[in-house]
Amino acid sequence: MRASAFVYPWDVVGDPDAAARIAGLNVRQVTLASAYHSTRALTPRHPRHRLVTAEYAAVLYPPDPARWAGRRLRPYAAGDWAPGDAYGRAAEALEAAGLEVHSWVILAHNSRLGAEHPDTSVVNAYGDRYPWAPCIARPEVRAFLADLAAEAAVRPGARGTELESCGWYGMAHLHAHDKIGGVGLGDAAQYLMSLCFCGTCREGYAEEGLDPDEVAAAVRAALAPVWAGAGTGDAGWAAVGTLLGAGLAEATLAWRTRAARALQEAAVRAVRAAAPPGFRVLLHADPAPYRTGANVGVDPAHILGVADGVVVPCTGGAAGTVLPPFAAHAGPGRVLAANFTVVGGMGGAPGRLAEDAAHAAALGATELRLYHAGLASDQDLARVTGALRALL
């Protein structure tokens, strides 16, 4: 069972021991960030720093000027947290340690893009913009993300890629100094607060036979009891139908599914056009089509007909929910990678990795993903090493 560890370039660049240490975990592969959102990341073993602050979403290599010439939307080069071709330098070190390198590309999650181009952002039913969430229904945004996927995925030496946030992003986002926990939002409220009402999405609702003003009003009315404290503890798509009305919920999802599929198909097509034969394209995904975020909601049958496979979140007992829907549609050669957080301080359980991985394999997982080799403590990594030795 192939195992891959997630890594940032700044975990490797400047640390002469990093690549060998990662190889020593008993992984065969690393999934190395080439385009990443703003973050603040711990580097517990790096000889030069302990904390890296990536101030905005950026590519971690020099973007191609010819590709982006004359375009309003273009990727941002990283600052001093990943200067120059940080991805390339890290990839070379990792390859020299015997590891296969795959790129890790974040797409529809970009606060700087939203700040500088507000018209590209998701707009909720109250008129609030989400600058971290590009509206993937907008043709200009979709074209930008597809080209970004191709450039950031097909880096020199990369054998494949994993596309994260290749779909709708919504309200659930850890924004700087987040202050949105005062009212608990379940699946239904999260969905309603993630619906977009920009001009393009209003046209999309109209194509589904809806009046966008009436949809927005219905969303606000449905959420009014939530703000009053009534709560929405129920999970799943049925809860969305209960809150908004089943017919209206299905119609909004139909439009969002069309937009998400258009992006996913365009991104995978662009990557494959730029990539050499045998280059694998995986998507971080959730089998519930209405979900938003890093693991975008998809229809398993559709996405496994588009991409070479998926990476699905399995930490905390989620494997039993997320893996079977994909396993039911995974034909020969399709990858189902079970992603486990192995950072104890972030809710992971590295001590249970062997048991959890065996359970995931029984549910259809063909590979493992370990989040995250750079963030984990020495103790966490020692547990991972032992588990992989037993498994592999």
CATH number at residue 290: 3.20.20.80
DSSP for residue 257: H
- Model confidence at 275, in pLDDT bands (50, 70, 90)? very high
Distance from C-alpha of 356 to C-alpha of 342, rounded to nearest angstrom: 11
Q: Within 13 Å of residue 194, how many CA atoms lie on the same side as its CB?
A: 28
Q: pLDDT at residue 234 above 80?
A: no
**204 with 155: CB under 8 angstroms?**
no
**What are the structure tokens assigned to 180, written together?**
């949105």
**What was the pLDDT predicted at 126?**
97
Which positions ≥6 away from 97 have C-beta within 8 Å?
A: 19, 20, 22, 23
Tens digits of residue pLDDT in 311-342: 999 999 999 999 999 999 999 999 999 999 99
* Rg of the chain, C-alpha, whole Å: 20
Tens digits of residue pLDDT in 339-366: 999 999 999 999 999 999 999 999 999 9
Cα-based distances in Å from 284 to 12, 34, 167, 181: 24, 15, 10, 26
**What was the pLDDT predicted at 183?**
74
Structural domain range at position 76: 2-180+259-391
- Model confidence at 184, in pLDDT bands (50, 70, 90)? confident
- CA diameter of the chain: 60
Residue appearing with tokens 């009891």: 225
Q: pLDDT at residue 137 above 80?
A: yes
Q: pLDDT at residue 178 above 80?
A: no
- Model confidence at 392, in pLDDT bands (50, 70, 90)? confident
Distance from C-alpha of 148 to C-alpha of 75, rounded to nearest angstrom: 7
How many structural domains is the chain composed of? 1
CB atoms within 10 A of CB 328: 12
Residue 283 lies in a domain: yes
**What was the pLDDT predicted at 231?**
67
**What was the pLDDT predicted at 1?**
84
Residue 242 lies in a domain: no
Q: pLDDT at residue 233 above 60?
A: no
**What was the pLDDT predicted at 44?**
95
Residue 126 lies in a domain: yes
Residue 197 lies in a domain: no
| φ, ψ for residue 325, nearest 5 deg | -60, -35
**Residues of the chain with pLDDT > 90: what percent?**
92
- Model confidence at 293, in pLDDT bands (50, 70, 90)? very high
Mean pLDDT for the chain? Answer: 95
Distance from C-alpha of 249 to C-alpha of 188, rounded to nearest angstrom: 10
**What was the pLDDT predicted at 263?**
98
Distance from C-alpha of 15 to C-alpha of 190, rounded to nearest angstrom: 41
Tens digits of residue pLDDT in 38-62: 999 999 999 999 999 999 999 999 9
Q: pLDDT at residue 303 above 80?
A: yes
Residue 112 lies in a domain: yes
Q: Which run of H or of E encompasses 339? A: strand 335-341
**87 with 9: CB under 8 angstroms?**
yes
Residue 161 lies in a domain: yes
Tens digits of residue pLDDT in 77-104: 999 999 999 999 999 999 999 999 999 9
**What was the pLDDT predicted at 175?**
64
Q: pLDDT at residue 167 above 70?
A: yes
Residue 100 lies in a domain: yes
Residue 212 lies in a domain: no
The candidate with the shortest Cα–Cα distance to 216, out of 255, 187, 244, is: 244
Distance from C-alpha of 39 to C-alpha of 324, rounded to nearest angstrom: 32
Q: pLDDT at residue 372 above 80?
A: yes
Question: Cβ-count burial of 358 within 10 angstroms (0-12 exposed, 13-18 middle, 19+ buried)?
Answer: middle
Q: Which run of H or of E encompasses 251? A: helix 246-274
